[in-house]
Amino acid sequence: MKQRIITGIAVGVIFVALTLLGGWFYTGMLVGLALIGFYEYIRMNGVEWQHPMSLLGFAAVLLFVFPWKQMGLEMPSTLLLMWIFMFLLLAITVITKNKTTIDGAALMLLGALYVGYGFAAMNEVRQITNDGLFWTLLSIACIVASDIGAYFAGRAFGRKKLWPSISPNKTIEGSLGGIIVSLIVAVLFSLAAPDLVTISHALLIGIVAAIAGQFGDLIQSAYKRVRGIKDTGSLLPGHGGVLDRCDSWIIVFPLLVLTGLVPV
């Protein structure tokens, strides 16, 4: 527990500092996290990093998180990137005469989108002109508030299991507590900056961040259970890997961007 607390504080301080600095500091952090996260993904699927499909996956992740706007370039269509990546993966199955299967190609396509666009959306929000820091902090605060609220509400009031076959410790009461705390935090942000976000808008962000964030956690729990592993990696002592810590973020941020709840 002591190691977990020390690691959590150290990583938290570094993350907050780079988030506040923004620019290339924040972008560099996200690029690094995306590449490590994808490495964890292919490793948990039993694929070597030097495999042609893995290398294509790393390239796709890099194309997603590449700082197009910061470089003064226009980002290619996400659909175009995914289609080209899909074609190249399927081409490998033909070239290798099915030694590389279509199942493996599908795994790589899923992983590149899941990890690559997840971190790309985080960077897209932070790069919003003038107000990127506000929207980033609002989104992260709601996600973290949901986690904290769910943990303490679950310990205090948890009785009914939420999804025992996936995550046996989570409860319905904890989930509801997480949603409520996320909504409270969202309202506080609205009261602090009413010119940027109305209360109704903030409430929408709060409930989406809480529910989608909890699903992000469950998605990773389900995946690890299928693969028979406890953590996706060991980068953070006591906390696991990048995907263990960022599982909620890489689901919530794309959803907030794609729904227009965060005005990128």
The predicted-structure confidence for 209-260, as pLDDT tens digits, reads as follows 999 999 999 999 998 888 888 888 777 666 678 999 999 999 999 999 999 9
d(CA 154, CA 145): 14
Q: Which residues fall within 8 angstroms of residue 5, CB to CB, at 6 or more apart?
A: 238
Overall size of the chain counted in residues:
264
The domain locations on the chain are 1-127, 131-264
Q: Which residues fall within 8 angstroms of residue 241, CB to CB, at 6 or more apart?
A: 36, 37, 40, 231, 232, 233, 234, 235
CB 165 within 8 A of CB 144: no
The predicted-structure confidence for 23-51, as pLDDT tens digits, reads as follows: 999 999 999 999 999 999 999 999 999 99
